[in-house]
Structure 1
């Protein structure tokens, strides 16, 4: 592959720093992970956004979270149509092979994907409406959530509501996967919805009793 290039120097330096410190201090743990395989307790579905670092937020070590990231932390509905479905494959592997006890969907403030969905659904992003737009077709998943919040007058409030809807739509879609519902009914799996405020460091969780997101 002639277009591939060596890593940027700053990443090479960071790698050597990690190898000489964090890895060197925990060699036995890393070797145990390699030999015994992974046994994560939870799957974390989060946004690709570089500002959302779930292992830091929850103080997780290597081997603790099975992490899947995509634009706007979305889970599509169960559609075994022969196409390639990276998110669905990750959910299937986490639930059926790794037997995780929790699937956690975490959204966040100032989400660019959610903003794109708002613009697209309101007719202000024609490029995202094109069939050739991967982002636009992915954000179609969130259209039902947009319909629920589109009448909120305040722009910031509507955006925040849609960020939380990205979590809710994903939780609803997770329930369309037979192996997810079976695990939940068997009592071996639980679903959780979170929203993270990047600037304030806050985390809210969905409370099914009140059907609202509340601070944890």
Structure 2
């Protein structure tokens, strides 16, 4: 894996090739952004939504965090980073779609499933545990059916986490209002790292199936 110093060589190559070739586009982007799609995905280094969806700079507004989670709408004191991003995307950028994209072999979902980090101190997994505990309720039927280890249980947790985030998005008043009016659509997706398959959630059947 590359160090940051090695990545600077990549920047120099980008600056000399792609940036030069697309200079007009970069000048346009300097005037502002107008993406139609917001993507909420995991921070995992293996799942870059821009690469997976093959989009150019300026085409998607992206928020990445552990397990691609969206907390429910709340106004309590604190730093609400995901909520701020959703607010900006929906109310200011006027995006037309929000995609929650989970992925295979997600460490955050594994932590939610096993609860190994629950009770850990801050700096020793405590922040992660508190973040993924929003999946505790969804975890119970999965653990009862599949246990808390193994790929079948992990996949079920990954898919359910996407649904939890979609449900939580609907607790934002301005999101639910725009969904009801047809101005905004919410979508769920799951990318399998090992086979490269993107699965999309059918909201009618509540099932994921490969994108065609």
Same fold judged by TM-score > 0.5?
A: yes
> Which residue does the alignment assign to 2:22?
26
Q: How many angstroms does 1:181 deviate by?
A: 0.5
Contact 1:144 1:169 in 2 (8 A): no
> Which residue does the alignment assign to 2:11?
15
Using the size of structure 2 for normalisation, the TM-score is 0.92
Q: How many angstroms does 1:142 deviate by?
A: 1.1
| Cα distance in 2, alignment partners of residues 198 and 157 from structure 1 | 15
Using the size of structure 1 for normalisation, the TM-score is 0.91
1:92 aligns with one of 66, 75, 87: 87
> Which residue does the alignment assign to 2:139?
146
> Which residue does the alignment assign to 1:130?
120
Query: 1:60 aligned to 2:50?
Result: no
Contact 1:95 1:180 in 2 (8 A): yes
| Cα distance in 1, alignment partners of residues 151 and 4 from structure 2 | 38
| Cα distance in 2, alignment partners of residues 64 and 13 from structure 1 | 25
Q: How many residues align?
A: 204
Q: Specify the SS of the correspondent of 1:139.
A: helix
Q: Specify the SS of the correspondent of 1:128.
A: coil
Per-residue CA deviation, residues 74-109 of structure 1 (Å, 9 max, x unaligned), is 000011112111011111110001000000000010
| Cα distance in 2, alignment partners of residues 113 and 9 from structure 1 | 29
Gaps of 5+ in 1: 1-6
